[in-house]
């Protein structure tokens, strides 16, 4: 008995209509997912993020809310300019504060690989050599797909992406970016704006009493 020859599949009107419906359903589902992703709420405050402290433990930035913060990307102070930046940051923290202003430091090794040391050594050097007392966090990345989300927020909010170490951001008590400064701009350039914002903070607090 001869085997039956394979019959070619025929696509009738119903099969074509079903294929079209499936394609439309797939397109609709894809568009819906894209819309939901676009509508996903974005963080509106720097304090909404979580970072790692120098020991690698997660810490919420919410604990710093209510103060004015200067954030910088410190590195090994190999030049006189770098030393002045670190000394300036160390002096600015106690000058205005501790209740109104502080500095948060995030070491980064993405700029000329200028900070290859482990975070522990970075902290030890800053504390022992320059008397730094402000928080120094775990080394982060701020460029590329692995960028720290908290710093990505600063970059997106200010439209200013750091080009080198000692890039500085000023963050309001509400978690908004006030301004940013390039590495070559000294910490002294920040002081007048910090002092003015602190005066505004004090006035608002008195009015709320």
Residue spans of the domains in the chain: they are 46-208
Whole-number pLDDT of residue 25: 59
3-state secondary structure string across the chain = CCCCCCCCCCCCHHHHHHHHHHHHHHHHHHHHHHHHHHHCCCCCCHHHCEEEECCCCEEEHHHHCCCEEEEECCCCCCCHHHHHHHHHHHHHHHHCCCCCEEEEECCECCCCCCCCCCHHHHHHHHHHHHCCCCCEECCECCCCCCCCHHHHHHHHHHCCCCCCCCCEEEECCCCCEEEEECCCCCHHHCHHHHHHHHHHHHHHHHHHC
Low-confidence stretches of the chain (pLDDT beneath 70): 1-13, 15-43, 72-99
Whole-number pLDDT of residue 74: 58
Q: What is the CA radius of gyration of the chain?
A: 26
Query: Which of 111, 110, 109, 112 has its CA nearest to residue 121?
Result: 109
Query: Which of 116, 104, 122 has its CA nearest to residue 67?
Result: 104
Enter the pTM of the model.
0.70
Q: What's the CATH fold of domain 46-208?
A: Glutaredoxin (3.40.30)
Distance CA 58, CA 108 (A): 18
Distance CA 15, CA 76 (A): 69
Distance CA 63, CA 48 (A): 10
Residue with tokens 């002096």: 91
Question: Catalytic residue positions?
Answer: 72
Query: Which of 68, 133, 66, 140 has its CA nearest to residue 101?
Result: 68
Contacts of 88 (CB under 8 A, 6+ apart): 186, 187, 188
| Helical pair 119-130 and 80-95, crossing angle rounded to 10 deg | 80
Whole-number pLDDT of residue 159: 92
The answer to whether the peptide bond before residue 194 is cis (omega within 30 degrees of 0) is no
Whole-number pLDDT of residue 41: 38
Whole-number pLDDT of residue 34: 47
């Amino acid at each position: 008995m001869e085997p039956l020859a394979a019959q070619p599949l025929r696509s009738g009107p119903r099969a074509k209509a079903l294929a079209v419906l499936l394609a439309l359903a797939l397109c609709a589902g894809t568009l819906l997912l894209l819309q939901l992703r676009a509508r996903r709420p974005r963080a509106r405050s720097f304090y909404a993020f979580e970072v790692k402290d120098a020991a690698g433990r997660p810490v919420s930035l919410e604990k710093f809310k209510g103060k004015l913060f200067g954030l910088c990307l410190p590195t090994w102070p190999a030049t006189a300019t770098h030393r002045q930046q670190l000394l300036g940051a160390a002096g600015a923290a106690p000058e205005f504060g501790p209740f109104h202003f502080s500095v948060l430091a995030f070491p980064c090794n993405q700029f000329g690989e200028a900070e290859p040391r482990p975070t522990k050594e970075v902290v030890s050097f800053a504390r022992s050599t320059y008397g730094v007392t402000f928080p120094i966090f775990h080394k982060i990345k701020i460029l590329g797909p692995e960028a720290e989300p908290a710093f990505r927020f600063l970059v997106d909010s200010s439209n200013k992406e750091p080009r080198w170490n000692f890039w500085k951001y000023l963050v309001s008590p509400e978690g908004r970016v006030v301004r940013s400064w390039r590495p070559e701009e000294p910490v002294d350039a920040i002081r007048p704006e910090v002092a003015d914002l602190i005066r505004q903070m004090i006035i608002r607090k008195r009015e709320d009493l």
